[in-house]
Amino acid sequence: MKTGKVYRVAGPVAVAELDARMFDIVLVGEEKLLGEVIQINGNKCTIQIYEDTTGLKPGATVSNTGEPLSIELGPGLLTSIYDGIQRPLPDLKAQLGDFIKRGATAPGLNHEKKWEFKATAKKGDDVSGGKIIGTVMEGQINHKIMIPPNKKGKITEISSGSFTVDEIVCKLDSGDKIKLMQKWPVRTPRPTSKKLPPNIPLITGQRIFDSLFPLAKGGVAAIPGGFGTGKTVTQQSLAKWCDAEIIVYVGCGERGNEMTEVLTEFPKLTDPRTGKPLLNRTILIANTSNMPVAAREASVYCGMTLAEYYRDMGYNVAVMADSTSRWAEAMREISSRLEELPGEEGYPAYLSTRLADFYERAGRYSNLNKTDGSISVIGAVSPAGGDMSEPVTQGTLRVVKCFWRLDSKLAQRRHFPAINWLDSYSLYLDILEKWFSANVAEDWRPIVDKIMSILQEEEKLLEIVQLVGSDALPEKEQVTLEIARLAREMFLQQNAFHAVDTFSEPKKTYSFMKTILKYGDLAYKALGEGSKVSDIVSIKSKEKLADVKFEKEYEKLLNSIVKEMESEFRKMKSDKK
């Protein structure tokens, strides 16, 4: 192991005289603080240190491990709670108590636990990177043991049985020995066979997302919003209900109390598919705002590598990154220590490139082992003061195709999820239209377009209402406002804490939209036949739509509501005569 000496220290950044390569991991000082080489100038290396550097001074010894920042991948990842560099926090707490000492280390996986390995490959098989050679049951997930991407050969020996992650389960004629565990550098994307089009939706169970602003499996979405707009609750709902098999939740630089809430709430959440704890198929990465900033920068790459590992098994993975703004702030701090030329608002000039590098690792892929898997990324953004024009939000908008904007005014009115339907958009609508037409209803897209146009029309009319009042509007526009109110209050609002309303299947979402538009058709027809606006708006049956959200047997209720509507409109017509 090559060694050197610390030359200068500036916060989380140190300069050392050391023979090293870019992104080598080094151990600094007597406490062996973990650091990473991020700049080389002659024989001087700039190191970002993942821990507190208080007391570190010039002359301290630096040792080069010669390896990039890598994490352990294998059985035992699910249910784990890590910090930004894959140190298991429960293990560190058991060793050190509530406060983690500098230089503390613990392996990412349990190296003592034995796993029951069932070989699916046999002696004599030719295998290469990504090939599945056996399985291990990890809770309710079938964990597939794969040949590491950079190895290949003919199997000379393989056996089923109980093994730790360090024990050899397979030998190749190339001399390679395969274990249940493999290591992978976090900044290097894991290889795939080819990228597939994002033409299958990630069903979230949230009506506003699935209908107006859908996200594809393998797609990327940004969800920006200020304090109190519901980012964390929205991401918890997405984690609980989206149809991804694996959830990776990265708490990147969030406030300690928010992260504590996530860590205490997630183990209590029940997986609706199995009835068991949601944590059984979840990996949590907790890096709070008072932790060292360098580890914050590494946490998102750590989360993405974990997601890629499960994608390679053929699973659909959802990554919740909360929040990328704190990650960008860590980059800004490190950049200033390096005395780099600042870009807009002090962020480094390469901010947009780093954001793109991260989000581009998402996607739906055909893997090396012929399975198909996907990584969908939902990145929360926390713009200072709710300013959507700041660099992180704008840099994110350049690379994402789905923008879910949280609105503080909607949150103040207790409208949740507080997604602003006028500022949000999804570029996946066209490519997903075919799937929704085939699997939900042929007229899915026209129905969605009608609901959206009514909501947009309402915004224009409300500006006039504020000036002259609703009574001054033409009768047709008054009816439009009532249809829009039904869409807003009864369709878009959703209670994340109600046992039934927390999840709305696509068929229910479609039926809901169809019923609202049915009222609209009947109302416009009645208006054309001379009925009064006051009578049309006072139809009682439409108010029962509020009950549909909370009913499991929604089809019967919707059918009865439609019949009542038609009956009331017929009565209105006969009374007029």
Tell whether 180 and 221 lie within a shared domain.
no
Q: Which tokens is 5 given?
A: 């000496």
Residue pair 62/34 in contact (Cβ under 8 Å)? The answer is no
Tell whether 169 and 259 lie within a shared domain.
no
Tell whether 482 and 550 lie within a shared domain.
yes
Which CATH number do you get for residue 529?
Answer: 1.10.1140.10
Tell me the mean pLDDT per 10 residues along the chain, length 577.
88 91 92 92 91 90 93 94 89 81 87 95 93 93 94 93 95 93 95 95 95 96 85 84 92 77 75 79 86 83 96 96 87 87 90 93 95 95 83 92 92 92 95 96 96 94 84 88 94 90 93 94 91 89 90 90 92 75
CA distance 74 to 348: 35
Tell whether 227 and 259 lie within a shared domain.
yes
Tell whether 390 and 313 lie within a shared domain.
yes
Q: Is residue 103 included in any domain, yes or no? A: no
pLDDT in tens, 16-46: 999 999 999 999 999 999 999 999 998 899 9
- Residues facing residue 502 across a β-bridge: none
Tell whether 160 and 243 lie within a shared domain.
no
Q: Is residue 101 included in any domain, yes or no? A: no
Q: Is residue 438 included in any domain, yes or no? A: no
Domain boundary among 132, 161, 185: 185
Q: At 202, which amino acid appears?
A: L
Number of domains making up the chain:
4
CA distance 85 to 80: 13
CA distance 453 to 366: 37
Q: Is residue 337 included in any domain, yes or no? A: yes
Tell whether 288 and 407 lie within a shared domain.
yes
pLDDT value at position 263? 75
Tell whether 377 and 278 lie within a shared domain.
yes
Three-class SS state of 503: coil
Residue pair 9/57 in contact (Cβ under 8 Å)? The answer is yes
Residues near 502 by beta carbon (within 8 Å), at least 6 away in sequence: 205, 237, 240, 241, 494, 495, 496
CA distance 12 to 51: 7
Name the DSSP class of 279.
G
Q: Which helix (H) or strand (E) segment is 450 a member of?
A: helix 444-468
pLDDT value at position 576? 65
Q: Is residue 435 included in any domain, yes or no? A: no
Tell whether 145 and 262 lie within a shared domain.
no
- Residues facing residue 381 across a β-bridge: 224
CA distance 494 to 492: 6
pLDDT value at position 438? 97
Q: Is residue 102 included in any domain, yes or no? A: no
Which CATH number do you get for residue 24?
Answer: 2.40.30.20
Q: Is residue 252 included in any domain, yes or no? A: yes
Q: Which tokens is 270 given?
A: 């029940």
Tell whether 57 and 80 lie within a shared domain.
no
Using alpha carbons, list the distances in angstroms from residue 378 to 239, 304, 362: 10, 12, 10
Q: Which helix (H) or strand (E) segment is 471 a member of?
A: none
Q: Is the pTM for the entire model greater than 0.85?
A: yes
Q: Is residue 437 included in any domain, yes or no? A: no
Tell whether 408 and 490 lie within a shared domain.
no
Domain that holds residue 49: 2-68
pLDDT value at position 95? 84
Q: Which tokens is 518 given?
A: 């049915």
Which CATH number do you get for residue 178?
Answer: 2.40.50.100
Q: Which tokens is 60 given?
A: 């301290």
CA distance 262 to 153: 44
CA distance 453 to 440: 21
SS3 sequence of 163-199: ECCCCEEEEECCCCEEECCEEEECCCCCCCCEEECCC
CA distance 325 to 321: 10
The dihedral through the CA atoms of 564, 570, 571, 576 has a sign that is positive
End-to-end CA distance of the chain: 97
Tell whether 243 and 382 lie within a shared domain.
yes
pLDDT in tens, 84-120: 889 998 888 888 877 778 888 889 999 999 999 999 9
